[in-house]
């Protein structure tokens, strides 16, 4: 049997950063994101899973090359977890192809793990069970639980394996909001998010971390009502407030997690300048130096021009609100 899935990254407006249970990836706070589909540069992660009769080990091919090391181990770990959920026993060949840099703060892990979960659900005939797909994606990478859905998505933290999964808030046609990504680096991260967030939880001053964890429900409510009203000013202000809080948590972590490059600071200055000029543009980052700017379609050109002038910007990727992970018919060979 063979199944192929395609998935996209997502950008959190209310951020996931820290787990109550690390192996299960049950987070310390709920989060909210928008799924991103590239317009001038596809942001696709495709996974083909092919069952292998009587094989005794899984094989993993990343962008055309077989991996026998750490990456294979991560994929096999995720497969084994999904086997436990579903009783599926066969060994598989995993073939992946991506069209964007993974490990650079573009949430490649979200696209990759959700694509894996979707393809695996395809093998067992369970793609209609979106809760199961989201839970299986979460076990690969927390933020992947959200890429299972298109549009805007809330991951309710829950308090157990079965109660921690994402749901769609509004679909991709609700509001044409854009995300302009200023790519500052496409180098892999030095520290994986899962390790960075564990450090924050352990070392960040307790008052700050508790406030960060507990404010997420209010922030999700604010973001949801701004989206319902299609109010970019309200959504943007909330996005920047969350981003500031996330940055404070990172900077108060020991050792200090400063993910920003000089260009990141310069882009934030440019975005503030654009806003002074009445352009609704709002900046935030993930655990990396790249900047995600939310704006409206009619301002994309100006935002791209101004931000593109910053020294150190390698590429501008223009995204619209994307679809969730889904099966496709074109299998990877």
Residue 212 as a binder of ligand PMV (CB under 6 A): the answer is no
Residue 242 as a binder of ligand PMV (CB under 6 A): the answer is no
Q: In angstroms, rounded to a whole number, what is the distance separating the alpha carbons of residues 161 and 175?
A: 32
Residue 286 as a binder of ligand PMV (CB under 6 A): the answer is yes
Closest to 321 (Cα-Cα) out of 186, 153, 136, 90: 153
Residue 204 as a binder of ligand PMV (CB under 6 A): the answer is no
Terminal-residue alpha carbon distance, the chain: 14
Q: In angstroms, rounded to a whole number, what is the distance separating the alpha carbons of residues 257 and 197?
A: 10
Stretch that binds ligand PMV, among 48-56, 122-130, 138-146, 308-316 (CB under 6 A): 138-146
Residue 16 as a binder of ligand PMV (CB under 6 A): the answer is yes
Alpha-carbon separation of residue 131 from 30, 127, 134, 315 (angstroms): 16, 9, 5, 35
Closest to 43 (Cα-Cα) out of 71, 4, 6, 80: 6
Nearer CB in complex with ligand PMV: 274/319? 319
Nearer CB in complex with ligand PMV: 164/193? 193
Number of residues in contact with ligand PMV under rule CB under 6 A = 15
Nearer CB in complex with ligand PMV: 140/280? 140
CB of 21 to ligand PMV, least distance (A): 13
Strand partners of residue 170: 152
Residue 110 as a binder of ligand PMV (CB under 6 A): the answer is yes
Sole binder of ligand PMV in the list 2, 76, 194, 237 (CB under 6 A):
194
Q: In angstroms, rounded to a whole number, what is the distance separating the alpha carbons of residues 302 and 1?
A: 48
Residue 109 as a binder of ligand PMV (CB under 6 A): the answer is yes
User: Which residues, at least 6 apart from 117, have a Cβ–Cβ distance to it below 8 Å?
Assistant: 82, 133, 134, 136, 137, 140, 144, 148, 325
Chain residues that interact with ligand PMV, rule: CB under 6 A: 12, 15-17, 31, 107, 109-110, 141-143, 193-194, 286-287
């Amino acid at each position: 049997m063979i199944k192929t899935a395609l998935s996209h990254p997502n950008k959190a407006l209310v951020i996931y950063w820290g787990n109550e249970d690390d192996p299960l990836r049950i987070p310390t706070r709920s989060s909210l994101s928008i799924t991103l589909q590239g317009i001038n540069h596809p942001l696709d992660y495709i996974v083909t899973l092919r069952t292998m009769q009587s094989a005794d080990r899984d094989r993993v091919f990343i962008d055309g090359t077989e991996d026998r090391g750490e990456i294979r181990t991560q994929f096999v770990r995720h497969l084994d977890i999904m086997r436990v959920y579903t009783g599926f026993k066969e060994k598989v060949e995993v073939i992946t192809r991506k069209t964007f840099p993974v490990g650079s703060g573009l949430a490649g892990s979200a696209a990759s793990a959700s694509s894996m979960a979707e393809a695996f659900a395809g093998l067992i005939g369970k793609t209609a069970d979106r809760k199961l797909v989201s839970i299986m994606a979460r076990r690969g990478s927390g933020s992947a639980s959200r890429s299972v859905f298109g549009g805007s998505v809330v991951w309710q933290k829950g308090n157990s394996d079965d109660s921690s999964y994402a749901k769609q808030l509004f679909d991709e046609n609700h509001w044409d909001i854009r995300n302009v990504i200023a790519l500052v680096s496409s180098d892999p991260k030095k520290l994986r998010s899962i390790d960075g967030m564990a450090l924050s939880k352990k070392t960040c001053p307790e008052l700050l971390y508790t406030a960060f964890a507990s404010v997420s429900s209010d922030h999700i409510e604010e973001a949801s009502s701004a989206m319902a009203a299609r109010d970019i000013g309200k959504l943007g202000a909330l996005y920047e407030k969350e981003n500031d809080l996330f940055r404070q948590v990172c900077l108060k972590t020991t050792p200090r997690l400063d993910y920003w490059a000089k260009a990141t600071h310069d882009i934030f200055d440019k975005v503030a300048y654009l806003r002074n000029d009445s352009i609704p543009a709002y900046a935030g980052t993930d655990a990396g130096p790249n900047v995600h700017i939310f704006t409206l379609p009619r301002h994309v050109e100006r935002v791209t021009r101004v931000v593109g002038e910053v020294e150190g910007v390698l590429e501008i990727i223009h995204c619209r609100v994307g679809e969730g992970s889904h099966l496709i018919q074109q299998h990877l060979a």
